[in-house]
Amino acid sequence: LIRSLPGLRVPDANDVLFAAGEAKNLGSVSGPNRQRDLCTFCTISLDQEEVFRTKVFDKSVCPFYGEDFYFEIPRPFQCLSFYVYAKSVFQRDLPVGKVSIRKDDLCKYSGKENWFSLQTVDPNSEVQGKVHLEMRLSEVITENGSTGQHISVRIIECKELPLISGQNCDPYATVSLVGPARSDQKKTKVKKKTSNPHFEETFFFEVTRSYSRRTQFNVEEEDIEKLEIKVDLWNNENLAQDVFLGETRVPHSNVLFLLLSPIRYLLQPKGNGNKSKSDDLGSLRLKLTYIEDTVLPSACYTPLCTLLLKSPDVKPISASAAHILGDICRERYEVVLPMVRLLLHNNRFVPFVSAVAALELDNTQEANTIFRGNSLATRCIDDMMKIVGKNYLSVTLKPVIDEICESNKTCEIDPIKLKEGDNVEVNKENLQGYVQKVFSSITQSSSNCPPLMCDVFRSLRHLACKRFPGDPHVQYSAVSSFVFLRFFAVAVLSPHSFQLRSHHPDPEISRTLTLISKTIQTLGSWGSLSKKLSSFKETYMYDFFKSFQEEKCIEKVKKFLDEISSNVSKESSGLEDAVVLKEGEVQKRAQGRKPPGMKTFKKRWLRLTNRELSYHKHKGETNADRTINVKNIRAVEKVDESAFNRKNMFQVVHSEKPLYVQAGNCVEASEWLEVLSQVSRCNEGRLATFHPSNYTSGAWQCCQSLSSNAPGCKPCTTTMLANLQLDIDCDREAERIFSLLSLHFVMFVLSTDACASLAVYQGPQREPEEYSKFTIQEPKETFHTLKQLRNIMEELQRQHNSRNDVRQYGSL
């Protein structure tokens, strides 16, 4: 996200949640694959840059992928595309078809499931980027005294051209004046290794028909209509055929009406995308959630943030802005997340959630139903645990989840679902071993539990004891209902959703994880064994659970819950195993001087644990080419594209020379920067400045400093040295809150009416059904807060209206 200064155009912030459902009736592809033997997978691309791919689905023309991906879009884009490929063993993967959705159309499909027909993948239609042109029509006098027209075409630059084989292209442009009987073509110089070439070349074309000065502009109408300016972009391939990158066409008649200022044109497929009807290639079912917010300058959000951050101090809490927001938008689960992030960033989350939890407990009549519903308190704590506990989950569960997924032992114990040849006793033993490992990992992890989560659990424990003083177990159930039922058990059930696995597990592994999750939920809940056993409807689960020792498990759970919710400070033994936080294939620049004949960049497998960053020649190798202790990382920053003529570059600055790395795509680069920053931000000796380019030919290319040890010329990305290792853009979160409140303006008005009604008509009365949706304890105080919110919303809307963008694109 790039924030704009006042008066400049405000950029958009984009998030995409993509769910790849299934494909049906996939058509045949060229090659040896028979249709029924198709092994397919689906990829997701921003323009022409692949950012995600699903697992391969074996031998089906109607594959069910069932995968979902969430990512923040780190750069401008034109299209979100989905490609279906047929996997090939002996040759490159073959495209079956694609679905391409323009950015402007994403909102139409957001939040809905849709079937999309697959379109043919044509190399001449795979285009992206824009070209900046200036065209002028002028009158000239020829040698014989007649008057004609000249068109000057100035090609200034191109932006966001696609990568070719993962690298920047070598682009050039051809500029033509074409018509029924002519085609005059001129060519720019080739620009090396760039996706944003700056040409700055001007070409002149003479309109062939001329006329006497006495008959000014007496040009035949058909010439004006049929001539056009055509600009083609190509990648120079030297020994191979040049690759088409896109084109734009401007009718000659349009030149008469063009402004003198340059105009940006979106590049189009060859022939403007005109193509014959393709064969039936099948369909792809997708569910998209696309969020786009226009973020204003920081000062615009100060009143809203101030009002929300005062919420923990408002009495009663139901009259606070944050509680009102949750009430008004209760049907939209996503409204809680920006509010939680804003409160977390400003250290106001614990007092707010404590007040909200106290309000919920006041309305809870029985201790055994504590925090069971989907309330504002439970939703806030759920989101907090996902944000704050991300690394805690990875450290605690990832090693054992990886073992379960990779060992692939059969654990089915339901007699109805057993396959031929399965031994139920062996399966039960396998499942019991996995449950014991998961349970032990959880109950021995208290030293890694984030302090903020401990603060929340301690508050919940205290509030529960105060509300139900006669129940000795409620102090534990108040905590276990979150940490076991809503945190660990859910992560075991769906490891992909918590970034513990890169893909959804296959059906058999998913079944194993379901059985483990059910057992962990029961082991972690507080109560007697007889109550636990009665909660199982399935006989086979009843029999399986009897194999666990009741008192031993209860004592372990009790000890764990005491440790994460008590006032006793916990210190890590420092002996915990190294946990892989992220790994993947990258291009790494050779360190030091490059020996003759050695490639500058090499493919390597980059691996980050909570202890070290290492790179290996191949995935799975234990011996690393190089290892960097995470405590020695002094900065993690982006590298300018011009430094190596490569996109998606970042650098890891440590005690020796910087490590320069190119990620596979823009989303991967953003994720590497985030996780490396998180794991190293509390290191001693972090740098305040860095060099965004490289040191070569005796100087830093960014600032021309001659010394290789010269201090950086650009400030490092701001870090937050706190227990909560999290980057939050408060302006963006405030804008999301404003957008959601605007969408629920009707509920906002109803809430205001409800306050007015209760304030005027005191005492019991029959309220309209709509009014019962709101928690109103003090009508006057709540009305006052609503009035403040409304004034703030109206002012933000005025700010948005005054900043409407008027940028022109010739092709839109």
Q: Read off the pLDDT of residues 193-236 as tens digits, 9 standing for 90 and up.
A: 888 899 999 998 877 554 444 444 444 444 556 788 899 999 99
Q: Cβ(647)–Cβ(666) under 8 Å? A: yes
- Residue 764: asked if its preceding bond is cis (omega within 30°), the reply is no
CA distance 650 to 334: 32
142 by Cβ neighbours in 10 Å (0-12 / 13-18 / 19+) ranks as exposed
- Position with higher pLDDT, 593 vs 157: 157
Tokens of 168: 């920047």
Residue 488: its pLDDT value, please? Answer: 95
Summarised one tens digit per residue, pLDDT across range 674-686 is 888 878 877 888 8
Q: Cβ(134)–Cβ(160) under 8 Å? A: no
704 by Cβ neighbours in 10 Å (0-12 / 13-18 / 19+) ranks as exposed
Nearest to 101 by CA among 113, 109, 89: 109
What's the pLDDT band for 670 if we cut at 50, 70, 90? Answer: confident
Letter string b/e over residues 430-450, b meaning 16 or more CB atoms within 10 A of that residue's CB: bbbebbebbbebbbebbebbb
Helices (H) and strands (E) in the chain, counts: 22, 27
Residue 632 three-state SS: helix
What's the pLDDT band for 260 if we cut at 50, 70, 90? Answer: low
Residue 219: its pLDDT value, please? Answer: 43
CA distance 648 to 612: 22
Residue 73: its pLDDT value, please? Answer: 82
Mean pLDDT of 779-786: 86
Residue 256: its pLDDT value, please? Answer: 59
Q: Cβ(450)–Cβ(724) under 8 Å? A: yes
CA distance 461 to 475: 5
Residue 296 three-state SS: coil
Q: Cβ(206)–Cβ(150) under 8 Å? A: yes
Q: Cβ(157)–Cβ(137) under 8 Å? A: no
- Position with higher pLDDT, 443 vs 66: 443
Mean pLDDT of 531-557: 71
Summarised one tens digit per residue, pLDDT across range 429-485 is 999 999 999 999 999 998 889 889 999 999 999 999 998 998 888 888 899 989 999
Query: Is residue 354 pLDDT above 90, yes or no?
Result: yes
Q: Cβ(172)–Cβ(188) under 8 Å? A: yes
Tokens of 685: 């000796």
CA distance 367 to 128: 59
What is this structure's pTM? 0.72
Residue 287: its pLDDT value, please? Answer: 87
- Classify 645 in phi/psi space as left (phi over 0), alpha (psi -120 to 50) or beta: left
First to last CA, the chain: 24
Residue 686: its pLDDT value, please? Answer: 87
Highest averaged pLDDT of the listed ranges 297-306, 522-531, 533-542: 297-306
400 by Cβ neighbours in 10 Å (0-12 / 13-18 / 19+) ranks as buried
What's the pLDDT band for 274 if we cut at 50, 70, 90? Answer: low
